[in-house]
Chain A
Amino acid sequence: MNFELTEEQEMIRDAARDFAQRELLPGVIERDDNATYPKEQVKRLGELGFLGMLVGVEYDGGGMDTVSYVLAMEEISKVDASVSVIMSVNNSLVCWGVQKYGNEAQKEEFLKPMARGDKIGAFLLSEPEAGSDATSQRTTAVDMGDHYLVNGIKNWITSGGTASTYLLIAHTHPEKKHHGINAFLIDSKLEGITIGPHENKMGMRASDTHSVMFNNVKVPKENRLGEDGQGFKIAMKSLEGGRIGIASQALGLASGAYELALQYAQERKTFGKEIIKHQAIAFKLADMAVEIEAARYFCLKAAWLKDQGKPYGQASAMAKLYAAETAMKVTTEAVQIHGGNGYVKEYHVERLMREAKLTQIYEGTSEIQKIVISRGLLA
C-alpha cells in the first residue's frame, strides 16, 4: 500500500499552503469580524485554478484528482474557512453536477466559466422547511411547456449574493415525491429572483450566506440538468462528493488549530516551564494529533475511492462525520491550550472553533451522516 503523495500532489498542497499563508492570512480576522466578502481572494483562487480543480481540462478546469482537492482544501481551511467553503461549493456541489449530468451546451455556458473562476456557483437545496429532510421540497418548478416557472424560497445559500450561477433543486411533479424533483442551472440575474439579507452567522462569516427567493421566475427548458425527475439523485450524488470537501475543510480547521496550539505550547511558560512540558497539555496535543491523523486518512481514503471510480458514499459519510466531530473537539482544545489568549480574536483559534461548529451541521448534519452510515451497514 502506497501512502506517499505524488510530486504533483505535493506541489498542489504546497501551492495551496503558500497561497493561504501569503494571500489569505493577512486580514482574515478583520474579514471575519466585519463579514466582508473576500472578493480579491476569491479572484486569486480562480486565477490559480482552485475553483475548478476537479473539472476536466477540456472544460477549462485543472483535471486534478480528489486527493489533490483534499490536500488543497485542508491547507486553505487552516487559514480561511469562508474562502474554502466558497471553493468547496463551487467545485463539489455545482461544477461536479454539471460535468457529470450536463449536456455540451450547458457545460459550455455554465461549467467553463465556473471552472475558470470567472463565475461563482451556488447550490440551492435547503429550504426553511426542508433541511435534513431534503425530500420535503416546497420550491416548485412547474413545466409550462416552453419554460419552467419557479416559485419558492431557498436558504443558507453560500455565495448567495455573489454567485452568477445557481444549481437549483425544485419540485416539478410533487405527486411523484422525490422522483418528481429536478435540477436547474439558473442565471442569478433572472427576473423574479430576490436575494434575502446577509446572514449574521457564528462563523464562516465572510462566505456571503443569503436566502434566495423565486417569484415566478421563468427558467428556459434547456436549463434543466439531467433527465426529468433526476434532480434528487443529482443533489444526493453531489452531496456525496461535497462531503469530501467539507470533511477536508473540517480537517483543515482541526489541523490549523492544532498547529497554532502546538506552537503556542512551546512558547508559553507556566510554573517555570513551557506548557508543553506539562503532561496535561502534552496529552491533549497527543490526542489532537491522533484524531487529526485519523480524520486525514478518512478524507484521503474517500477521495481515493472516488478517484478509482469505486463507490464512495459510505466512506465520504464517515469522513465527514469524523472530521467534523474532530474539528469541534480539536478547535475547542486549541482554545483551551491558549488559555485567555485563546478567547481573543488575535490568536485565530476562537475563529476556528466557531467555524468548526458549522461543519457538524451543513451538507448533512452529523446525525444524517449516521443515518447514511447505519443504512450502509445493512446494505
Chain B
Amino acid sequence: MKILVCISNVPDTTTKVKFTDNNKQVDDSGVQWIINPWDELALTRAIELKEDSNNTIDEVCVINVGLPKCDATLRKALAIGADKAIRVDADPLDAYFVAGQIALYLKSNPFDIVLSGIESSDYNGSSVGGMLSEFIDCPAISSMTKLEVENGNVIIHRAIPGGKQILELTPPFVGIVQKGITNEPRIPAMRGIMMARKKPLEVIPAVELQALSHIVEFELPQAKSSCKMIDSEQLEELVDLLKSEAKVL
C-alpha cells in the first residue's frame, strides 16, 4: 500500500504575525518555515505504519503545492522518513486550487491512502482534505484519531461528540487527521537528515485551474482592554461581574 501525505508550508507558530503592502500581504521576512503541525502528525503516523513490519505499507510520499521556498520543508519531511517528495510549482491560491492540483497528480499516480491534517496553522482552512476527496470521488474520514493497518485491513477511529466510532473501510480514501493520531511528531534522526538530499524531490508544473476565492486584506486584532483584577477574598464581586457586565452567567 502507498500513503500520500499532503503537506502545507507554514510559519513557525511562535512567529509574530506581520503584514506589508497595506495589509495585503503576509510579511515573511525572517520567518522560520515548518511543516504544518497537523500534517506533521499525519506524516509521523504514516511512517510509523511503514516501519511496523506487520504492515503492507511500502511507500510514504509527501506532496505540497507551493513555491521553491517550500523545498526545505519538503526535505525535512524526507529527513523524517518519507520516501519521495513532490512539489507542484505554484502559489497556493486557495484551498480549491490546492486540492485540484493534488487531485490531478493523483489521477496518474494513485495512492491507497491520502492523509492531511485537519487544518493548517496559517489560514486555518480545514478544507483541502475534504475537497480532495470530492475531486477524486472517494470517502473522506474527518476527525480521524487513530489509524491502524493490519494485514491489509484498515481500522480507523473517528472522534464524534461525546465519544468515538470505530470504522472499517477499504482504500482508497482520504484521512483527515487530528490530535491523537500519534503521540508526538517525529524528530528526524541524524542519519535521516543526511540522507534527505539523496531522496527524490520532484517538482512538477501546475495545471490551469481557477481559484474560487482570494484574500483581499488582513487585519491585526485590537489590543485587548486590560484584565480586571479581583481580590481573592472578594469572589462575590467576580460572580456579579460575570452576571451583569460580561453576561456569561
Interfacial residues, chain A to chain B (CB-CB below 8 A):
7-8, 10-12, 14-15, 18-19, 22, 47-50, 53, 57, 62-64
Q: Among B184, B187, B189, B197, which residue has its beta carbon within 8 angstroms of that of A8?
A: B197
Interfacial residues, chain B to chain A (CB-CB below 8 A):
72, 75-76, 79, 184, 187-191, 193-194, 196-197
Whether the pair A11, B79 counts as a contact (CB closer than 8 A) is yes
Return chain A residues, CB-CB under 8 Å to B187: 15, 18-19, 22, 48
Contacts A8-B196, A22-B184 given; indicate if A53 touches B190 (C-beta within 8 A).
Answer: yes
Q: Among B72, B75, B184, B193, which residue has its beta carbon within 8 angstroms of that of A15?
A: B193
Nearest B-chain residue to A6, judged by Cβ:
B197
Whether the pair A11, B184 counts as a contact (CB closer than 8 A) is no
Return chain A residues, CB-CB under 8 Å to B190: 12, 15, 48-50, 53, 62, 64
Nearest B-chain residue to A14, judged by Cβ:
B76
**Residue of B184, B187, B189 with most chain A CB atoms under a 10 A cut-off:** B187
Whether the pair A64, B189 counts as a contact (CB closer than 8 A) is no
Whether the pair A49, B79 counts as a contact (CB closer than 8 A) is no
Please measure, in the bound complex, the distance between the C-alpha atom of A48 and the C-alpha atom of B79, giving whole angstroms: 12
Return chain B residues, CB-CB under 8 Å to A53: 190
Main secondary structure of the interface of B (DSSP, over half): helix
Return chain B residues, CB-CB under 8 Å to A62: 190-191, 194
Main secondary structure of the interface of A (DSSP, over half): helix
- Counting from the closest, the 5 A-B pairs by CB-CB distance are A49-B190, A62-B190, A11-B193, A48-B189, A49-B189
Interface pairs (25), CB distance under 8 Å: A7-B75, A8-B193, A8-B194, A8-B197, A10-B72, A11-B76, A11-B79, A11-B188, A11-B193, A12-B190, A14-B76, A15-B79, A15-B188, A15-B190, A18-B187, A19-B187, A22-B184, A48-B187, A48-B189, A49-B190, A50-B190, A53-B190, A62-B190, A62-B194, A64-B194
Nearest B-chain residue to A49, judged by Cβ:
B190
Return chain B residues, CB-CB under 8 Å to A11: 75-76, 79, 188, 193, 196
**Residue of A48, A50, A63 with most chain B CB atoms under a 10 A cut-off:** A48
Return chain A residues, CB-CB under 8 Å to B191: 49, 57, 62
Question: Given known contacts A10-B72, A11-B188, A11-B196, what 7 new A-B pairs fall within 8 Å (CB)?
Answer: A12-B190, A15-B188, A15-B190, A18-B187, A47-B189, A57-B191, A62-B190
Return chain A residues, CB-CB under 8 Å to B196: 8, 11
Whether the pair B189, A7 counts as a contact (CB closer than 8 A) is no
Nearest A-chain residue to B197, judged by Cβ:
A8
Minimum CB–CB distance for B183 against chain A, Å: 10
Return chain B residues, CB-CB under 8 Å to A7: 72, 75, 197
Please measure, in the bound complex, the distance between the C-alpha atom of A64 and the C-alpha atom of B191, giving whole angstroms: 9
Whether the pair B184, A12 counts as a contact (CB closer than 8 A) is no
Please measure, in the bound complex, the distance between the C-alpha atom of A241 and the C-alpha atom of B11, giving whole angstroms: 37
Minimum CB–CB distance for A306 against chain B, Å: 18
Please measure, in the bound complex, the distance between the C-alpha atom of A62 and the C-alpha atom of B195, giving whole angstroms: 10
Minimum CB–CB distance for B14 against chain A, Å: 11
Please measure, in the bound complex, the distance between the C-alpha atom of A122 and the C-alpha atom of B79, giving whole angstroms: 30
Minimum CB–CB distance for B82 against chain A, Å: 14
Please measure, in the bound complex, the distance between the C-alpha atom of A7 and the C-alpha atom of B28, giving whole angstroms: 18
Please measure, in the bound complex, the distance between the C-alpha atom of A19 and the C-alpha atom of B76, giving whole angstroms: 15
Please measure, in the bound complex, the distance between the C-alpha atom of A255 and the C-alpha atom of B76, giving whole angstroms: 25
Please measure, in the bound complex, the distance between the C-alpha atom of A53 and the C-alpha atom of B194, giving whole angstroms: 11
Please measure, in the bound complex, the distance between the C-alpha atom of A50 and the C-alpha atom of B188, giving whole angstroms: 11
Please measure, in the bound complex, the distance between the C-alpha atom of A47 and the C-alpha atom of B184, giving whole angstroms: 16
Minimum CB–CB distance for A223 against chain B, Å: 28
Return chain B residues, CB-CB under 8 Å to A18: 187
Nearest A-chain residue to B79, judged by Cβ:
A11
Nearest B-chain residue to A60, judged by Cβ:
B191
Return chain B residues, CB-CB under 8 Å to A19: 187
Return chain A residues, CB-CB under 8 Å to B184: 22
Minimum CB–CB distance for A366 against chain B, Å: 31
Minimum CB–CB distance for A341 against chain B, Å: 21
Minimum CB–CB distance for B7 against chain A, Å: 15
Contacts A7-B72, A7-B75, A11-B76 given; indicate if A63 touches B189 (C-beta within 8 A).
Answer: no
**Residue of B72, B184, B190 with most chain A CB atoms under a 10 A cut-off:** B190
Minimum CB–CB distance for B104 against chain A, Å: 29
Return chain B residues, CB-CB under 8 Å to A10: 72
Please measure, in the bound complex, the distance between the C-alpha atom of A333 and the C-alpha atom of B29, giving whole angstroms: 32
**Residue of A15, A22, A63 with most chain B CB atoms under a 10 A cut-off:** A15
Minimum CB–CB distance for A351 against chain B, Å: 24
Please measure, in the bound complex, the distance between the C-alpha atom of A15 and the C-alpha atom of B186, giving whole angstroms: 9
Please measure, in the bound complex, the distance between the C-alpha atom of A12 and the C-alpha atom of B194, giving whole angstroms: 9
Minimum CB–CB distance for A62 against chain B, Å: 4
Nearest B-chain residue to A50, judged by Cβ:
B190
Please measure, in the bound complex, the distance between the C-alpha atom of A50 and the C-alpha atom of B187, giving whole angstroms: 12
